[in-house]
Structures are given as structure tokens and as C-alpha cells.
Amino acid sequence: MARFFAEQTLVSDDGAAEHLFSLHGVHVRVSPQNDGNAVEVQGVDAELTPEAVHPAIRMGTSSEFRLGRYVMNLELVKPDASDIKPPAQIWIALTAEDLARAQTRDQLKLAYWNGGQWIVFTDVKHHFRIVEPETEGGYGYAVAELSRWGDPPLAVGH
């Protein structure tokens, strides 16, 4: 598996690193960490897409999450494996197809694959939310905050 960096990384006025994976519609925002350690942010290119590796990924799991679109494998790692504090924000650009599958914004879900099932991001644990589009013609974003991560695949569904 090959790793790749964001097409663009910027530093905002507050010192946060903004990693833009434009080809995947993914934006990762990592604020300076309380412990001073850096968070490495990379994409992971698998030789096969997760849908081809495991049938359960293709089908989703029960009624909790139905896979609509595989987004990418994303890796956020701290060298000492400590928690990410403050949490990193992951912004996934939504598409017209995402909205059509879910039928309403309230039905949209974001999930990650833990090796055995899709785990849905929640508002309580991950501060999951749908953000309205910034410009006309956009579809908005699915946003989640993460305080611990490895390199699981991300997906949008309903």
C-alpha cells in the first residue's frame, strides 16, 4: 500500500494545519496539539478498493449504515500513539448523488470501517454534523471530529 500526502497543506492564522485532499473531496484540519507532538496526515492507496477486498464493506451493515460511496483511506497518526487533543476535524464534501441516495440531509451518515463493520460517526462521540454548502451549487459537508485514529476507510451513506 502506498501512502500519499494532501495535494495542498496550509497553515491557518490560528496555527492549524489544513490538509486538502481535493481529488477525494476531503479536508482535514489539525490544530496544534496540547502535548506539542505533530499529527501525520496521509492518504493510503490500497491496490484494491475496500469494496473489492471484503463483501461486507460493499453491502454495509444492517440498517445502521448502508454504504453509498467509499471516500478514501485516511491515516492520522501521532508518533507516540497518544490521543489527538484537540481533536482533528474531517470535512467530506457531499455530492448530488449522496443527497439523492439519502433523500434528506437528516439521513446522511459518515462511517469508518473498523475491519469488521462500519462504525457510524455520532454527534455525541464525534460531533458529527452536516454543514450547509458555502457557495451556490455546492452540496455541503459531512464533518466529524476525531481524537484517535489509524487508517480505516471512510464512507458516506444513509
* Domain-wise residue ranges, the chain: 2-157
Q: Is 22 helix (H, G, I), strand (E, B) or coil?
A: helix
What was the pLDDT predicted at 137? 82
Given pLDDT bands bounded at 50, 70 and 90, which one contains residue 60? very low
Among residues 73, 103, 106, the alpha carbon closest in space to that of 90 is found at 73
Distance CA 121, CA 45 (A): 23
> Is pTM beyond 0.85 here?
yes
Tens digit of pLDDT for each residue in 73-94? Answer: 888 988 887 899 999 999 999 9
pLDDT at 68 over 80: yes
User: Given the C-alpha cell 450547509, which residue does it identify?
Assistant: 132
